[in-house]
Every structure is written in C-alpha cells, then in structure tokens.
A and B are shown apart, each in its own frame.
Chain A
Amino acid sequence: METVRIDSGDVTAIAFTGRLDAGTAAQAEEAVRAFLRQSDRGKLIIDLSGLDYISSAGLRVLIVAGKGVLQRGGRLALCGVRGNVREVLTVTGLGMLFDIAENRDQALGRLGPRASGAPGNPCGR
C-alpha cells in the first residue's frame, strides 16, 4: 500500500492506494493520526480511488479518522469509493456514516468554503 498526502490551503487530502489490510493498516493509521495531531477543526479528504481492497483493519483506520475529525470539530469526506471497498463499506453500514463524494473536486465542495485568511478567500475574512 502507498500513502500520499497533499496539503492545499486548509484542506488535506490523504490517498491510500493498493491494499489496506491487517499488514498495512498501521502505516495508514499513522498518516491519519499525523493529520489529527496537527489540525484543529481541520478538513480532511480520504481519497480511496486507488484502493483495490479493504478489510476490517482498514475500516478501523477510517473510523479512527471519522472519530478524530469529529472530536476536533473538523470535517471529513471520502471519495473514489469503488469495488470491494464500496461493498465492505455498504455491508458494514459505514457507507451511511461518512460523507462520500465521487471525486476530490466534489469532496472539496462538500467540505465547504475555505477558512478565513486562507488562500483563495478574496476577502480575507
């Protein structure tokens, strides 16, 4: 599995690609926890478009992200959910709990306007 993180303005996107299973979940969880440590009221997109497989170990990482962001008053959206990942999210009911967008652009829209002072806010308020 590969983890790629992109910080852009007040939004962080973390993309997991490959297999998010019992062998790779610790690496993914560390990426999520690193984001949670740094951000208060932060906005996070988890991009799963390159993810081929997820097991309960991977679901646990998504739950850690969901709870952590909620506790910090932030926002979380998932995107690129497909195949086995979609099936597993659906049968566990987790698909209903997350804000799931088609792609990153749509996810950005779901997370709302940029925070005041952040690049892209012309009024700076």
Chain B
Amino acid sequence: MRKIASVALPPALDNLPRFIACVSQAARGQGLGERVGQVELAVEEAVTNICKYGGAPGAAEVEIVCLAGPAVLVVEISDRGRPFDMTVWPAPDVKADVAQRPIGGLGVFLIKKVTDAVEYRREGGRNVLRLTFRNRFPAI
C-alpha cells in the first residue's frame, strides 16, 4: 500500500470540507468515481463523531491518511481522543417508524454500510479507524 494523500487538522466541523476534499480527490484518483459519495459519507460520519464526542477539542489533530493498493482505497482516520471502537457499537433499529426513531445514532451504521471493511485499533494513545473501499459497487 502506498500513501497517496494525507491531511491533519484540528477536530472542528469547520474543517470538514478540507477532510472531505482530501479523500474525495484520493477516491477519484483511484478510479472509485462511483463511490466518491460513499467515501465522503463514511469520512464525514467518522470525523463528525470525533469532533462531537472525541473529547479534548483543540488539544490534538485529526489525521487522515489515504493508502492505495490494487483496486482498493484505504482511509485511516486517527485522533488522540478518548478510546472509541465503533466496530463493536450496536446497530440502531432501522425498522422503527418515524415516531420511534431516535434523532441521531445513524452515523456509525452508515459507515458500516458504505464501506467494505471497518477496522479499529488503539495505537500509541491514538484511535485508528481503518476504512476499506474496493473498486467495485458494494453489496448493500
């Protein structure tokens, strides 16, 4: 895997367009044009979670690194916030009607739906979320 793009910025929603621009360029460069919306969505949801719930705002940066392999784009998002492993987060009830729907809670669910793989590791005091997008239409 080779590194094709990276960006490191404070965890603030104002920086969201710059995080998105980085991954969307990387996705297009890897021939994942049809999946750009999915890549942007997964990254927005992950970065938004860090901004809202990661703790210690301003104390550290969120770093995004895009890695390219054969027909695959991997996006690693890391932060120094409190440990959070979304891979073990319970799924919301997506069959509930509007009146029963909690307002919020769909972000993690969407990340899992639009990626081919989601992996988490805690490494040197950092959360590292690794999102894999293959160069094909995912089965969703």
Contacts and interface: CB of A to CB of B under 8 A. Distances in A.
Contact of A55 (B44, B101, B103): B44
A22 B95 CA distance: 24
Interface of A: 21-23, 53, 55-57, 59-60, 63-64, 66-67, 70, 83-84, 87-88, 91-94, 97-98
A97 B110 contact: no
Secondary structure of the B side of the interface? helix
Given A55-B41, A87-B37, A92 B48 contact: no
A64 B99 CA distance: 10
B76 interface: no
Interface in B72-104: 94-99, 101, 103-104
B94 A53 contact: no
A28 B41 CA distance: 18
A23 B21 CA distance: 14
A66 B100 CA distance: 11
B17 A60 contact: no
B16 interface: yes
